[in-house]
């Protein structure tokens, strides 16, 4: 029988990013909680973060990042077939992707949200890749965006110092002659779910005698920092090694290591374990803090626009976070 199934390759053709204008530095934070610039800088590497005002929406940030990525890819919004929005903080629990599709004017696209916390961008990249590889869609806009400042407990010094808001995006395109997504690996472990949560805590409301329902509301972020730290330094090198194995590559073939921007000590430790020199580690955490699903595409876009990442450079990205979830992908930048 003639084999008519055709697999397409993938190119990462453009990037964009957006952050709110307002910033909050460590000294300002120390007016809110019992902390100091010295403690935050030495334990995390974070110096400031951008925070959204009540009027700013996730959709606005995501649309700005998305438009810039589409422009860099030399496409117009009508060329986009699929929009995947990786977020844990949508403007609307029913999903924010379709509204962003409307704002961008991507009239032909189908759009949906994907939730995998700080792993969302990597999980989104792999999800988008399945549609491209099978020939279903040719041009996909993948956005990672989060406004965690809305869900942080601003009285909890162990978590409020970590997070910031932002959005980043890439355009992934089908290619017939080569494949620039070289390998990936995704994982989750729900048995460790309790270590990092932004969970529903419904308030009971009596409707009728004998019938109660819950009024929806969420508790602020809770995290066992030490456990998440241990999980990250253990699992991230492992998942990158697995993705490299699938790519038939070893770490010396990597030009850039781009990890979810959670903690500089995590990045340093992972690089050391993989024997990747520090000059190959991309970090913009000091300026933005942990922007969750946005952190990888935000750092990618900055490095591309600064001319640091060049066409054909090989990048290992890895996201990790709530779920617990973790994943890695190896790709070459550019069309």
Is 290 assigned a catalytic role?
Answer: yes
Is 196 a binding residue for ligand ACO by CB under 6 A? The answer is: yes
Q: Which of 26, 139, 160, 260 is catalytic?
A: 260
DSSP 8-state symbol, 8 = P
Among 60, 89, 290, 295, binds ligand ACO (CB under 6 A): 290
Minimum CB distance to ligand ACO, residue 54 (Å):
21
Task: Calculate ∠ Cα 312-287-60, nearest 5°.
Answer: 80
| # residues contacting ligand ACO (CB under 6 A) | 23
Residue 228 and residue 14: Cα distance in Å, rounded? Answer: 32
The secondary structure of 157-220 as a DSSP string is HHHHTTB-EEEEEEEEEEESS---EEEEEEEE-GGGGGGEE--B-PEEEEEETTEEEEEP-BPP
Q: Is residue 194 a contact residue for ligand ACO (CB under 6 A)?
A: no
Identify the active-site residue in 26, 118, 197, 284: 118
Binding mask 231-260 for ligand ACO (x = CB under 6 A): -x----------------------------
> Taking a C-beta distance cutoff of 8 angstroms, is the pair 100, 85 a contact?
yes
Task: Work out the angle between the directed axes of helices 58-72 and 97-104 (0-180°, nearest 10).
Answer: 50
Report how far residue 222's alpha carbon sits from residue 324's, in angstroms, rounded to the nearest whole number.
13
The minimum distance between CB 21 and ligand ACO, in angstroms, equals 23
Residue nearest to ligand ACO (CB): 321
In the list 114, 117, 142, 233, the residue contacting ligand ACO (rule: CB under 6 A) is: 117
Binding segment for ligand ACO among 37-45, 90-98, 125-133, 238-246 (CB under 6 A)? Answer: 37-45
Q: How far apart are CA 36 and CA 32, in angstroms?
A: 10
Q: Rounded to the nearest 5 degrees, what angle is found at the Cα of 264, between the Cα atoms of 151 and 118?
A: 40
* DSSP state, residue 216: P
17 lies in the binding site for ligand ACO (CB under 6 A): no
Residue 183 or 220: the one with the smaller Cβ distance to ligand ACO is 220
194 given a catalytic annotation: no
- Single out the residue of 108, 194, 226, 310 in contact with ligand ACO (rule: CB under 6 A): 226
Minimum separation from the CB atom of position 65 to ligand ACO (A): 19
Other beta carbons within 10 Å of 111: 21
Does residue 260 have an active-site annotation?
yes
Which of 242, 69, 219 has its CA nearest to residue 144? 69
Q: Which of 10, 322, 328, 329 binds ligand ACO (CB under 6 A)?
A: 322
Give 226 or 310: the residue with its C-beta nearer to ligand ACO.
226
């Amino acid at each position: 029988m003639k084999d008519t199934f055709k697999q397409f390759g993938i190119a990462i053709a453009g990037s964009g990013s957006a952050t709110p204008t307002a910033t909050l530095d460590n000294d300002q934070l120390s007016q809110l909680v019992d902390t100091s610039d010295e403690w935050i800088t030495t334990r995390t590497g974070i110096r400031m973060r951008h925070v959204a005002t009540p009027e700013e929406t996730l959709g606005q940030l995501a649309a700005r990042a998305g438009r810039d990525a589409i422009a860099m890819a030399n496409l117009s919004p009508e060329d986009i077939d699929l929009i995947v929005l990786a977020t844990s903080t949508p403007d609307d629990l029913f999903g924010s992707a379709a509204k962003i599709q409307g704002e961008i004017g991507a009239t032909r696209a189908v759009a949906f949200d994907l939730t995998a916390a700080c792993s969302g961008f990597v999980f989104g990249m792999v999800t988008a890749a399945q549609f491209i590889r099978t020939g279903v869609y040719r041009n996909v806009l993948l956005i990672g965006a989060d406004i965690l400042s809305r869900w942080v407990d601003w009285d909890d010094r162990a978590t409020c110092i970590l997070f910031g808001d932002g959005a980043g995006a890439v355009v992934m395109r089908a290619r017939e002659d080569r494949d620039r997504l070289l390998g990936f690996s995704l994982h989750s472990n729900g048995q460790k779910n309790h270590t990092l949560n932004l969970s529903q805590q419904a308030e009971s409301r009596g409707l009728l005698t004998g019938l109660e329902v819950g009024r929806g509301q969420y508790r602020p972020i809770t995290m066992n920092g030490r456990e998440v730290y241990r999980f990250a330094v253990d699992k991230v090198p492992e998942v990158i090694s697995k993705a490299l194995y699938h790519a038939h590559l070893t770490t010396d073939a990597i030009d850039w290591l781009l990890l979810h921007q959670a903690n500089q000590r995590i990045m340093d430790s992972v690089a050391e374990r993989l024997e990747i020199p520090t000059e190959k580690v991309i970090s913009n955490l000091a300026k933005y803090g942990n922007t969750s699903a946005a952190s990888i595409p935000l750092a990618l876009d900055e490095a591309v626009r600064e001319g640091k990442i060049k066409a054909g450079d090989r990048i290992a990205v890895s996201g990790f976070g709530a779920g617990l979830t973790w994943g890695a992908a190896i790709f070459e930048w550019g069309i």
